Structures are given as structure tokens and as C-alpha cells.
Amino acid sequence: MKIVIGSDHAAFTLKAFLIDHMRKKGIEEILDIGTETESLPCDYPDIAFRLGEMVVQRKADKGVLLCGTGVGMSIAANKIPGVYAAHCHEPETARMSRRHNNANVLTMGARVLSPELAAEILDAWLESDFEGERHLRRLSKISDYEQKICPSCSLSEKGKTIVFDHPLVQHKVSIIRDKNTSVKEFRELVQEIAGLMVYEITRNLPLEKIQVETPLAVTEAYALEGKKLAIIPVLRAGLGMVDGILQLVPNAKVGHIGLYRDPETLMPVEYYCKLPGDIAERDILILDPMLATGGSASAAISLVKSKGGKKVSLVCIIAAPEGVSKVHGEHPDVDIYTAALDSHLNDHGYIVPGLGDAGDRLFGTK
Ligand code: PRP
Ligand code: URA
């Protein structure tokens, strides 16, 4: 875990105390962005903005901001789209700010807390994880609002949308669109399309040199470097893409996220989440054949990020422009790979022309 910490002059001593405390707890990556002295007054917004931007740009996993009361830091940091700063006086609020609000910045006051209590609050905050589920829906209302009032305000790196125009992919997509395609053929084709897409998506995975002994000689060869891929299907329909990818990348770890779209509100409802323990170190591909309103995909990405995921891409087969805008608006750092970008959504949130309900067509449940 990488923590960035900053304070103004009033909380300089508390900052030093908490850095020492975190080191003793085994947190190795701590970025101290100042201030450097308590004798020279500085302005808390300067520190808050710098730290907040680092958190949003994922240069650190979480941030800690300290000033006299913690209030100024919290007000300033919360101006940054994508920062969710929680101002805490006791451990339970800190715990809940992670579990329910997915707070990515903690603010505290050096003039109102003893160093020991501040350390206790910090521990409670760092040790608690976001619980997702109904809280995801609420947070997505906040990010929707941020997006509505300022669509271009995001500070994260810009993600790309890559539409696969390979003839083999296009040919297979035409067949799965056909309402007369059988469940068996639909399932096989979704696997094949996912495999073809991942062949291209993984083009830039890093390689390392290894030595291999052939029957004739020892030679230099290449293997994929370090921790590699994690694929995360969004249940149900994302499951249809898993085997096609595992055939090519058999060592990829597989996580699962259970989400369905409430038919009335079209809002995502989370019912399951199990991710690989080393998710932070892997390139992550979230799989879902359909990107319609983008509610499900955006919620899935938020969940993965809240569990430590950093390099996240979304792989779908058919996307609607509405879904692409939502995902790029809320997660501008995420690349979207799709085999087709369709025209629009109908009144029920279905992609037109699309292919109908992907889960039903994969599993024959209509
Ligand atoms: C489908 C699809 C996506 C979601 C897309 O799942 O697989 O997850 O809808 O819609 P959105 O972009 O508007 O959120 P569905 O909710 O039908 O669940 P299922 O896979 O269990 O059938
Ligand atoms: N989910 C689907 O399966 N299909 C759509 O067109 C939209 C959402």
C-alpha cells in the first residue's frame, strides 16, 4: 500500500509522528509531500490540492491530510473531483468512512487530537475496506453529479476506447447479433471473440528473458514478466468470455463480481465480489459483453479499484455511446475495448441494434 501524507505547519509534528507510526506498522511506501517545517507558516489548500491530485491520479492508494483541526484540509481536498475526504475525530467514523463511503483521503486535526488517538484513527481507517453493495449505488450518485456539473473536470489519465475492426471479430459479432443463432453457437462465438480480443489487448504485456534448454541447446527465450493478468467477469454474462481468454492466458487469475441491473431503475445491484488477493499487482481486465448505460461496468470498476486494483481495462463486445461516456466520465483512466460501438439505447436501456439480453442468450434463460 502506498500512502501519501501532507500537513500544514500546525500539524508538522503530528505528521512526523504518524509517519513513524506507519513505518513501525510495516507500511513501506510513504510519500511525505510536506510541509517541511513548523516554523514557516504555509497554506493548507496548497498541500490539500497536491495530495488530492496524487490520489485521483493513482500515484498513491490513499492520502492523509493534517492541519490544526483537519477541517480546512477536508474542505479543500473535497473540491477535487474524485477525492472523497473524511474528516475524523474517532476511530469508528474512520472505519465507516472506508466501509460505506470508500473515503480515499483521511483528514485530522493536530490541535484537537492527541498523537496516540490520531494513530488509532489512522489504523482503523487503513485497516477497513469498502463494502460495496448498496454503498456503491450511493457513491455512483456522487460521481454522476460530479460528471454532470463538470464533464471535463477529471484529473485522471485519459482512457481510450478501442473498437476492434478485425474481420474475424466483425464476422463473429454479426452471427451473435442474429436472433436465430442458437444458444450453443452464441456461447462458442462469445468465447472466440473474447479470445481474439485478448490476443490483441495483451500485445504490450512486458516480457523477461529466460533460458530454455531445447533438445539441442540452451537458448535465450522470453516469458511474461512478473505478476500478470487478472480477469474479472461481471456475472452472469461476463462468464461467457472467461474460457476463451483462459485458453490463451491459462495462468491468469480469475475474480468474480456479481451485479445485475435493476429492471426498473437500471441501477446496478451488487450481490457478489471475490477478487484475487494480489489484485493490486496485476493488469486487470473486467469482462462484460454488454456496455449499455454503463452503470454495471462503472460500479464493477469502482469495486475493483476500492479493493486495490490499479491498472484496469474493460473488455466488452457491444458498447453503447451512453455507456462509453459514463465509464470514461467516472473512470477516465480505464481503457475500453469493444468489438462494436452501436447506435443508442432504447427506452428500456437495451442497446440498439445490440443482440438482446446477453445473459439470457448465453444461458438460454429467456
Ligand atoms: C447485463 C450485462 C451488463 C449489464 C449492462 O447484465 O451483462 O452487466 O446488463 O447494462 P448497463 O450497462 O446498463 O449496466 P444484467 O443486468 O442483465 O444481468 P445478467 O448478466 O445476470 O443477466
Ligand atoms: N444488457 C444486455 O444484456 N443487453 C443490453 O442490450 C443491455 C443490457
* Cα separations in angstroms, 144 against 84, 112, 136, 150, 208: 14, 35, 12, 10, 42
Q: How far is the CA of 308 from the centre of ligand 2 (A)?
A: 28
Chain segment 128-167, per-residue pLDDT in tens: 988 877 787 788 788 878 877 877 777 766 678 899 889 9
The alpha-helical segments, DSSP class H, found in the chain are 12-24, 44-56, 71-77, 91-99, 115-126, 134-149, 167-177, 183-201, 242-246, 295-306, 321-330, 358-363
Task: Give me the residues of the chain with pLDDT under 70, please.
Answer: 156-158
Residue tagged active-site, from 134, 265, 278, 365? 265
Predicted local confidence at residue 156, as pLDDT? 66
pTM of the predicted model over 0.75: no
Task: Decide if 165 is catalytic.
Answer: no
> How many Å from the N-terminal Cα to the C-terminal Cα in the chain?
45
Q: How far is the CA of 351 from the centre of ligand 1 (A)?
A: 11
Task: Decide if 35 is catalytic.
Answer: no
Yes or no: say if 83 and 52 are a contact pair by the CB < 8 Å rule: yes
Chain segment 192-203, per-residue pLDDT in tens: 999 999 999 998
